[in-house]
Amino acid sequence: MRIALVIDSIMRGGAERQALYAARGLARQGCDVELVYYTRSPQFDYEASLAGSAKLTCLPKEDRPLRFLARLRAHLAGRGFEVVHSFKGTPCLYGGLAARLAGVPVIVGSYRGGRYVEGRAMRLAHRWLSRVQSAWVVNSEAVVEELVRHVHARRGRCHVVRNAIDVEAFRPTLDPSRARAKLGLDPGCETVTILAVLRPEKNHGLFLEAAVRVARARPRACFLVVGEGPERGAIEVALARLGLGERVRLLGMRADVPDVLAATDVSVLTSVYEGLSNTLMESLAASVPVVSTHHAGVESLVRDGAEGFVVPQGDARALADRVIELLADPPQRARMGRSGRERVAAHYGLDAMAAALLALYERLRAGGRAAP
């Protein structure tokens, strides 16, 4: 089967990693796969090897959307793709419309966030897309409800395919002391890390509030903030206001997340909403216990008390208490870390995701009704 996956970029991020994993897994299933993207960012792009044997093609948009749309349509028509599957809100429109104009028989869109947050214009565009494309692929049941509510998607055309993780890519290659030394940390410190793009929905303010409490109880604790985004300025202001000083390091975008996780004792996620969190998957794959706020999809990854802890939204005290508990109990951290790695390895492998996608494509291509 000849398949095109369309996304805006391959810059480091959750949806981008999942698109690359999908390309890699589908190629391993014997498909002819091409991942098409339209924004290049060499400093922050993932390594092409993440896509395995799948082909990567950049068709630059260059702020010329209509010209890009025509170019994408010609590319899809010229290659004879049978399936076009687009990831994220805006790429779904480009990919869906170009595929429709190119006469591609199977058109699939993916919406990954746990909450539908698009404005009126995008919502109307997605409603049109829901009528003309074959299916939506989402990563949690909560996203199905969001699409049904906001873009009037037919429930029978929404299909849950869980995110995947390359577990071996997150197996630690450095011991904690060496990993901390690489980051310029004291080898004996206790490290609490948040891996998340710096956007409002990730709620870094709650992480910092909890960090104040943890810092008081654990004098050797330090805190790592990994990611970039529009909230960086606000986070810097909050750091000064809270007096955390050198206890918190803003590491920006990192290409060595497995090494950062090797230096981490506890991974924290404070999101207001998520679909199926890549941060949690990566932390568990690296055998790091997690403390997460409760959001749709978290139970699919973290069983409270097994792979980590789940705390109420907005509760800095509960968050800090669980982090302190884990920092004080290395055997519990090790036990939860093992459970987390075993869980993602058993349920969230690349081949399982690729097989689910390919089965859906085949049913849609055959014209049969694909069961949601």
Tens digits of residue pLDDT in 122-153:
999 999 999 999 999 999 888 999 999 999 99
Note the CATH architecture for domain 2-164+349-366. Answer: 3-Layer(aba) Sandwich (3.40)
pLDDT in tens, 44-55: 899 999 999 999
Mean pLDDT of 151-167: 94
CA 154, CA 330: separation in Å to the nearest integer?
48
Q: Mention every residue, 6+ apart, whose C-beta is less than 8 A from residue 130.
A: 136, 147, 151, 152, 153, 154, 157
Q: For residue range 84-125, what is the model confidence (pLDDT) as tens digits?
A: 999 999 999 999 999 999 999 999 999 987 789 899 999 999
For the chain, the structural domain boundaries read: 2-164+349-366, 167-347
Domains 2-164+349-366 and 167-347 share a fold: yes
Q: What is the pLDDT of residue 317?
A: 98
Label residue 196 by pLDDT band (50, 70, 90): very high
Q: Chain-wide mean pLDDT for the chain?
A: 94
What pLDDT was estimated at residue 3?
98
User: Mean pLDDT throughout 172-193?
Assistant: 93
Per-residue pLDDT, 22: 97
Q: Note the pLDDT of residue 99.
A: 97
Task: Give the CATH H-level superfamily of domain 167-347.
Answer: Glycogen Phosphorylase B; (3.40.50.2000)
Quickly count: other Cβ atoms within 10 Å of residue 77's Cβ: 15
CB 354 within 8 A of CB 162: no
Q: What are phi and psi of 188, to 5 degrees?
A: -95, 10
Rounded to whole angstroms, how far apart are CA atoms 107 and 96? 6
**In this predicted structure, what is the pLDDT of residue 372?**
46
368 pLDDT more than 70? no
Can you tell me the mean pLDDT for 52-78? 96
Could you tell me the pTM of the whole model? 0.84
Residue 299 has pLDDT above 60, yes or no: yes
Structure confidence at residue 370 as a pLDDT band (50, 70, 90): very low
Report the percentage of the chain scoring pLDDT > 70: 99
Residue 255 is predicted with a pLDDT of 87
Residue length of the chain: 372
